[in-house]
Amino acid sequence: MSRVVLEVDVNGEELFVVDKDILARFCGRIRRLVVAGAASAKRPTRVALHGFPGGAEAFELVARFCYADGGCGGAVTAANACVLRCAAEFLDMAAAAPEAASTAAPSLVRMTEKALEEMPHWPWHTVVDAVKQCQRLLPLADTTGAFDAAVAALVSHMAVPPPAGDATPTSSSPESSAFRFSCDTKSSSLSLRGSCISRTWWFEDLVSLRPGTVERVAAALVARGTDHRIVARFLFYYLKCHIAGASAEDKKAMLEASVTVMSGLDRSAVSCKGLFGILRIAAPLKLTDACQQRLVAMIGRKLDHATLDNLLVPAPAGTGSLYDVSLVLRFVVAFLRGGAPDETARLKKVGRLIDLYLAEVAPDPSLRPAKFLELATALPAPARDCHDSLYRAIDVYFQVHGRLTEEEKMKICRGLSYEKLSPECCKHLARNGGFPTRAAVQALASQHTVLKSLVLRDPAELKPVAPSPPPSTAKRRETCYDDGGAENDGQVILYAGRLDLTLENQNLRSLLDGMHWRVMELEKVCSRMKTQMTKMKARRAGSRTARSLPRMCS
């Protein structure tokens, strides 16, 4: 039988002239083309292989394998195992032709799979090259499992210290300026200096990977049980090395890949400063909704570590506002959803932070009252022990927004707890013409109630003091309670002078009386005005009646 020559066009790169029968013995795809050509009574002389993995170089290796009957002519090595596995999948070389199978001809698929099983024992840089090679062989690298094998081998190498002479440059050290992008403070990086250098030696070798591959490697590290702090540091380091100078599309891909992995890490492993850095970079990129939600949720969980500068995110273009208050509200909601209300210390830190933020955004003339009130009341009551800072923020807001109605002001004042205002703030509120009169009266009344409850507190709630009272003075008043037992036994003595509330109580009472006097005076003025208006109407009615009467003749 004469040999049939076949021309193979590989990706338009190169034209190979091969023996059709030799390739058909091992390549199912070529074999099917031969059968199809015979059925149509035409012998195909040229075959075009588009999208062939590895290009002309890989096809040449496959051809050598076929011409050598699967012998040494197509030897599988660590350098070509991944590409040959994908090429064998593309050409359907899992099983040889029946006549070849009878002679126990080797299969390229089996040979490459055996080589991939040995990948964990390959040198580090060979494994890194295999991972980079798989990036260019998608989706076949996924279908064949070559990519998973390469990533698994890579992760297994990361778990051990670097071999002698194979350490990465000092630029990948945790102490580099780029690495500190992920650290909240210098002390945190200094405390981990010794341990981090031994566990982050591989950073520099992996920064050249594509975003999808980085996400895959980081997820594999997490699944293997690697310290989440190391994974987070690597992701921040990767971003630091590539963000500058990257295109908008590349930035978006890198950020989305990093955020996807970080969202599954422990809250303490991810830097709050780094998350806000990602937020500012991502602002003009329009990340996917899912990615934005993950980023907001992560920042919300770390909100107690944020600073005022972190929260001052400019508002989107076209809104007219200075700062993005809606975004901060989303942070607060995410913080509360994370179970933070059970942690009082964290909750109070966020309360102080939100009060600072309110004072900063209050002068914004474009900030609507409903949005200001929503942020002021977003946190539960235990978040604030004192409402003085909130009062000052509301005071500034009222001064800037002078056109607010009394009803709008009263709605905002509902966010204040007058019982948590200091006496100084209550005095200021009582004299503050920008606040509604009702708010001032309520504040003074609540303060009076608080002081009265302190003075007249139930004796059972007071701590007992020594049976023998201290020397009495003219300025100190004593109130004694006896439970009916022996003299001085179980006696509870309250010294009102120790509370030092008498003078304060008198001042507040005088202010409250003054407010009542002002209300009464206004009522008197209104009553007099009504009386005068009634008299004026009566006079006008009488004059009109007199003019209408006819003059009588004398």
Q: Residue 441 — very low, low, confident or very high, per pLDDT cuts 50/70/90?
A: confident
What is the distance between the alpha carbons of residues 243 and 417, in angstroms, rounded to a whole number?
47
- Calpha distance 199→263 (Å, rounded): 22
Q: Is the pLDDT of residue 502 over 60?
A: no
pLDDT band per the 50, 70, 90 thresholds, residue 439: confident
pLDDT of residue 472: 40
> Domains, the chain, ranges and CATH?
5-120 (3.30.710.10), 159-301 (no CATH), 303-413 (no CATH)
**Three-state SS for 481?**
strand
| Strand order from edge to edge, sheet including 5-10 | 14-19, 5-10, 46-49
**If you average pLDDT over every residue of the chain, what do you get?**
79
The answer to whether residues 17 and 5 touch, using CB atoms and an 8 Å cutoff, is yes
Instruction: Write the DSSP string, 133-153.
Output: HHHTTTTHHHHHTHHHHHHHH
What is residue 338's predicted lDDT score, i.e. its pLDDT?
Answer: 80
pLDDT for 200 equals 83
pLDDT for 185 equals 40
- The counts of H helices and E strands in the chain are 27, 5
What does the block give as tokens for 39?
């059925």
**Could you tell me the two tokens for 464?**
């007992």
The answer to whether the beta carbons of residues 239 and 254 sit under 8 Å apart is yes
Question: Which of 5, 37, 45, 39 lies closest to 21 in space, CA to CA?
Answer: 5
Q: What is the DSSP string of 511-544?
A: HHHHHHHHHHHHHHHHHHHHHHHHHHHHHHHHHH
CA angle 129, 132, 136 (to 5 degrees): 135
Residue from 254, 249, 242 nearest 211 by CA = 254
User: pLDDT value at position 96?
Assistant: 58
Residue 550 pLDDT greater than 60, yes or no: no
Share of the chain above pLDDT 90, in %: 46
356 to 225, 379, 421: CA distances (angstroms)? 40, 14, 17
Mean pLDDT for 154-177 is 58
pLDDT at 548: 45
Q: Within 140-266, where are the H helices?
A: 140-144, 146-158, 186-191, 193-199, 203-206, 211-224, 228-242, 248-262
Q: Give the per-residue pLDDT at 471.
A: 38
- For 277, the 3-state DSSP assignment is helix
Interhelix angle 406-413/388-400, rounded to 10 degrees, is: 160
Q: Which range among 232-236, 352-356, 511-515 shows the weakest confidence by mean pLDDT?
A: 511-515
Residue 497's pLDDT band, with cuts at 50, 70 and 90, is very low
**For residues 93 and 96, what is the distance between their CA atoms, to the nearest angstrom?**
7
Average pLDDT over residues 250-265: 95
Q: Which of 138-147, 170-179, 283-292 has the lowest mean pLDDT?
A: 170-179
Instruction: Give the least confident one: 18-27, 235-244, 468-477.
Output: 468-477
Residues 206/240, Cβ–Cβ less than 8 Å: no
Amino acid in position 270 = V
Most confident of the following: 176-190, 433-447, 508-522: 433-447
Among 229, 161, 235, 230, smallest CA distance to 198 is for: 161
* β-sheet bridge partners, residue 323: 314
pLDDT at 367: 94
Of the pLDDT bands very low, low, confident and very high (cuts 50, 70, 90), residue 532 is: confident
For residue 139, is the peptide bond before it cis, meaning its omega torsion is within 30 degrees of 0?
Answer: yes
Within a 10 A sphere around the Cβ of 465, how many other Cβ atoms? 14
Residue with tokens 């013409």: 433
Q: Which two tokens stand for residue 127?
A: 């494994």
Q: How confident is the model at residue 144 (pLDDT cuts 50, 70, 90)?
A: very high
Q: Which two tokens stand for residue 1?
A: 């039988």
Which residues, 6 or more positions from 106, have their beta carbon under 8 angstroms from its beta carbon? 69, 70, 71
Determine contact, residues 228/163, Cβ cutoff 8 Å: no
Residue whose entry in the numeric block shows the structure tokens 């992996």: 206
Tokens (6 digits) for 218: 């980081």
Question: What is the structure's pLDDT at 503?
Answer: 54
Residue whose tokens read 């199978």: 101
The pLDDT, as a whole number, for residue 544 is 54
Whether residue 86 contacts residue 141, with contact meaning beta carbons closer than 8 Å, is answered with: yes
The reported pLDDT for the residue numbered 105 is 60
pLDDT value for 164 = 52
Classify residue 314 by its DSSP letter: B
In the prediction, which pLDDT does 204 show? 92
Which of 170-174, 211-215, 421-425 is predicted with the least confidence, judged by mean pLDDT? 170-174
Tally of CA atoms within 13 A in the half-sphere of 63 that contains its CB: 16
The pLDDT value recorded for residue 41 is 47
Give the pLDDT score at 529. 81
Residues 364-401: tens digit of each pLDDT:
999 999 999 999 999 999 999 999 999 999 999 999 99
Report whether 26 contacts 93 (CB < 8 A). yes
Spatial separation of the C-alpha atoms in residues 190 and 66, rounded to whole Å = 58
Q: Largest Cα–Cα distance in the chain?
A: 157
Q: What are phi and psi of 321, to 5 degrees?
A: -90, 165
**Closest to 158 in 3D by CA, of 202, 194, 119, 204:** 202
Of residues 493 and 125, more confidence is placed in 125
Residue 390 and residue 416 in contact, taking contact as beta carbons nearer than 8 Å: yes
DSSP 8-class letter at 267: G
Closest CA to 352 of 382, 327, 384, 328: 384
pLDDT, mean of residues 301-317? 93
| 165 Rama class: left (phi>0) / alpha (psi -120 to 50) / beta | left
pLDDT band at 28 (very low <50, low <70, confident <90, very high): confident
Q: What confidence score (pLDDT) does residue 177 get?
A: 35
pLDDT at 192 over 70: no
Q: Which of 494 and 42 is assigned the larger pLDDT?
A: 42
Cα dihedral 493, 497, 499, 504 sign: positive
